[in-house]
Amino acid sequence: MSNQFIAKEPVIEDYWRAIILFGRNVASYKFALAKSLLSLKPEAGQLLKLSDLAIPFSTYLAEHLRHSPKQITASSSKFLEACKRYGIDEPNQNRLIEETVKLGFNNVIDAFHIVGAGEVAKKFYIDERVVNNGIRITEEFSRLIERIQFGNLSAEVESRWNLVETAWGLGISSNLIEIQHDNDEQTLFTLDSARRRKTITSCRGALNGYQKGKCFYCFTDIHADDGSDTEVDHFFPFVLQKDSTFKLINGIWNLVLACPQCNAGEGGKHQKIPTLPLLERLSRRNEFLIASHHPLRETLMNQTGSDLVSRRHYLNDYYNKAISKLLHSWEPPKKDMECF
């Protein structure tokens, strides 16, 4: 029997992912360039002119600027001003492309392949801006496109981009962003670079966007704004925290807004486990928040899984473990029409 360590050769998508996940970020241009390459799917040997690259590149940036104004760590950028002006405020695609060719690629084309102290060993293009006003696609990029994992790469770039811009918007390091819930204050918070708490929002406000003023379980009207009749409820009961196999019980994925009756009233949930149709409803709610570019999206994905299959598996597994501990299941008496 062998007891030697075995070194696994990195495959081509390892290099790509290293760039996306571990490359340095001072602006989000790297993500825009990565998404542009993945959507254009140029072939090996092809020259991609900056003017062609500028179309998806500036479109992605303008899209992101619309929901997340902070796309750079510096206080201002002439290029981003142009993206706002010609991509959003007074749409003019020709001007936007012109400005992008002039200003947009200055740092990103050089920096794209740098991870840590230097460039990665496999490159996806060669810089030919000086002679040909563009970049030359390599064999490596073609090999990346042929890989079975190719379909996931664009979503991964998007997810990383969202996380980074959320962190910048909050003024914290993207490595630290993990939104947590404070049970006493009923607020969502994260920790800044000095591990100090930063309250993000009231938990009620964040959850009510989906529930639209209704109890998660029975659809009774609640007043999430003043909180007088609204409880932040742990779908899987908080008491499970005593058992260390139940992780992240305070995670946003497990929190809903409920009326006092359902939460702890007579015939209420107390320490029982909601039934499978309610688990289905929880899954729908989490998927909705993930799909709608909610600020909690990255936290939900970090907590329960990066794709739908693994998230459903996570919930199902949690359910089975929880029911084997607490034994009783619960659902509310039917009252109003289902509305989510």
Residues of the shown chain interacting with Zn ion in the complex, contacts defined by CB under 5 A:
215, 217-218, 220, 259, 262
CB neighbours of 163 closer than 8 A, spacing ≥ 6?
Answer: 174, 177, 298
Q: Which is nearer to Zn ion, 108 or 262 (CB)?
A: 262
CB neighbours of 204 closer than 8 A, spacing ≥ 6?
Answer: 186, 224, 225, 227, 230, 232, 257
Q: Which is nearer to Zn ion, 214 or 297 (CB)?
A: 214
Residue from 153, 157, 321 nearest 243 by CA: 321
* Shortest spacing between CB 201 and Zn ion, in angstroms: 23
* Shortest spacing between CB 230 and Zn ion, in angstroms: 10
Q: Which is nearer to Zn ion, 111 or 218 (CB)?
A: 218
Helix, strand and coil in the chain, % to nearest 5: 50, 15, 40
* Shortest spacing between CB 85 and Zn ion, in angstroms: 48
Instruction: Specify the pairing of strand 329-330 against strand 273-274.
Output: parallel
Residue 31: C-alpha distances to residues 74, 183, 187 (Å):
17, 36, 31
Q: Which is nearer to Zn ion, 68 or 211 (CB)?
A: 211
* Shortest spacing between CB 269 and Zn ion, in angstroms: 9
Please state, in angstroms and rounded to a whole number, the distance separating the CA atoms of residues 324 and 63: 46
Q: Which is nearer to Zn ion, 82 or 222 (CB)?
A: 222
* Shortest spacing between CB 82 and Zn ion, in angstroms: 51
